[in-house]
Amino acid sequence: MHTPFKPSRSEFLSLRGLRTHVRHWGSVDAPKLFMLHGWMDISASFQFVVDCLKRDWHVIAPDWRGFGLSERVQADCYWFPDYLGDLDTLLDQLAPSESIRLLGHSMGGNVATLYAGIRPQRVSKLINLEGFGLANAVPAQAPARYAQWLDELREPPKMRSYPDTGAVAERLSKTNPRLTPERAAFVAQHWAAQHQDGEWHVQGDPRHKIVSANLYRTEEVLACWQNITAPVLWVEAEHTDVWRWMGPKAEVRAEIDRRMQVIPDVTPALIKDAGHMLHHDQPEALASLIEDFLD
């Protein structure tokens, strides 16, 4: 039997000149828990985990710039450090004098973990869901990377549209077969919106798909991670597919372990029978893990 979705409310803030959508669940007087979504995702994606939390929390989840209901940038591409700037500004507005509980998934996990090392005094506890970073890069890749970036600026990527929310839900279920029909239908209503052409378009700026001109500098990232003072819960999914974009499985496993171990106070955890979208696949198990750690 389905438990009704906990209601959320929307707020729009000006963050560094962009109209930014922030989703809230729970009482404003309850302890705050900030949640940061991943690439091509939305704040509403955390609904199922929020539904499974047993304690009263004030969950605060922004839509990153160019995702969900937040404004898109006027520039021709997106820069990763801007997520850090947006988070810093968000916290200045909603938790100006607090050390906060911070959770991030995938790209959001990477932003959260970097931020916790850059502003260690601002984060009291950190939960990283599958935010492992990107594949190692070497300087010799720079010429080709810059060329790829220039080429993609000339011909920006596009995304397909869908005739109705049923087709959107079908697309989500195809990407993640563990997603139940009910959850797929819920996410579809927030992940896409109907435009004037009558079609449903993903609520994500296609320009997010333009490759970064800058290579991923692993050692710089780890220098930030080493600076984290908060206890960190490092959560992986049993059936994660990060290997697809990071390299051969055995090599990636060793590299992920190396990265995790630079964090001074880290507790690893595994969610069984879940893929990369573990907050969709096993929200009950994840919620339990979150609350145990925060307690």
pLDDT of residue 4: 82
pLDDT of residue 198: 92
Tell me the C-alpha to C-alpha distance, in Å, between residue 278 and each of 55, 90, 130, 221: 20, 25, 9, 24
- What percent of the chain shows pLDDT beyond 70? 99
Mean pLDDT calculated for residue range 7-32? 98
Q: Are strands 32-36 and 58-62 parallel, antiparallel or unpaired?
A: parallel
What does the mean pLDDT of the chain come to?
Answer: 96
Q: Quick one: how far is CA 191 from the chain centroid?
A: 14
| N-to-C CA span, the chain | 29
145 has pLDDT over 50: yes
146 has pLDDT over 50: yes
| pLDDT tens column, 32-90 | 999 999 999 999 999 999 999 999 999 999 999 999 999 999 999 999 999 999 999 99
Task: For residues 156 and 77, give the distance between their C-alpha atoms in angstroms, rounded to a whole number.
Answer: 9
| pLDDT tens column, 253-281 | 999 999 999 999 999 999 999 999 999 99
| pLDDT tens column, 233-247 | 999 999 998 888 898
2 has pLDDT over 80: no
Q: pTM value? A: 0.96
Phi, psi for 278 (deg, rounded to 5): -65, -25
The DSSP-derived string for 153-188 is HHS-----EESSHHHHHHHHHHH-TTS-HHHHHHHH
Mean pLDDT calculated for residue range 91-98? 96
Residue among 109, 111, 100, 113 nearest 129 (CA): 109
pLDDT of residue 1: 44
Delineate the domains of the chain, giving CATH numbers in brackets: 8-139+217-294 (3.40.50.1820)
pLDDT of residue 245: 87
Q: Are strands 58-62 and 192-194 parallel, antiparallel or unpaired?
A: unpaired
Task: For residues 234 and 30, give the distance between their C-alpha atoms in angstroms, rounded to a whole number.
Answer: 24
Amino acid found at 187: V
**pLDDT band at residue 17 under the 50/70/90 scheme:** very high
- Return the number of other C-beta atoms located less than 10 Å from residue 73's C-beta: 17
| pLDDT tens column, 182-201 | 999 999 999 999 999 999 99
Amino acid found at 114: L
pLDDT of residue 268: 98
